[in-house]
């Protein structure tokens, strides 16, 4: 017999990355539930956080993709609860969190 209640997902990844810190300045980590950068106020991941994440996960690009996908899910949940009707589209969230990451495919296949 199938249950009508689906299990609720647990908490996503910890928000402690990128780990790089500059003394006296807040880190470029997300500030929940608005998902802005603690340091520069831009939508997270900001340009600096992207560079720091790519450097931190150098050689472990699959881990970066998994981390970003988990954070995208958490951000979608938070932003939907803040504004169920006017939140960002799923495509915008994918572009913001995952599309810039390590496993992008070109829009057009190169001609041999």
Quick check: 45 and 96 in contact, CB under 8 A? yes
Q: What is the pLDDT of residues 45-99, one digit of tens each?
A: 999 999 889 888 888 888 898 889 999 999 999 999 888 888 889 999 999 999 8
What's the pTM value of the predicted model, to 2 decimals?
Answer: 0.72
Question: What does the domain layout of the chain look like in residue ranges?
Answer: 30-99
Contact 31, 37 (CB under 8 A): yes
Contact 49, 28 (CB under 8 A): yes
Contact criterion met (CB below 8 Å) for 68 and 101: yes
**Is the separation of the CB atoms in 51 and 58 below 8 Å?**
no
**Closest by Cα among 65, 63, 56 to 17:** 56
């Amino acid at each position: 017999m199938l249950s009508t209640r689906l299990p609720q997902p647990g908490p996503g990844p910890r928000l402690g990355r990128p780990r790089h810190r500059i003394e006296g300045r807040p880190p470029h980590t997300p500030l929940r539930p608005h998902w802005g950068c603690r340091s520069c106020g831009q939508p997270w991941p900001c340009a600096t956080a992207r560079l720091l994440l790519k450097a931190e996960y150098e050689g472990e690009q699959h881990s970066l993709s998994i981390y970003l996908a988990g954070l995208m899910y958490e951000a979608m949940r938070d932003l939907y609860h803040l504004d169920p009707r006017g939140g960002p589209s799923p495509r915008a969230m994918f572009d913001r969190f995952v599309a810039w990451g390590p496993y992008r495919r070109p829009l057009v296949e190169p001609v041999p």
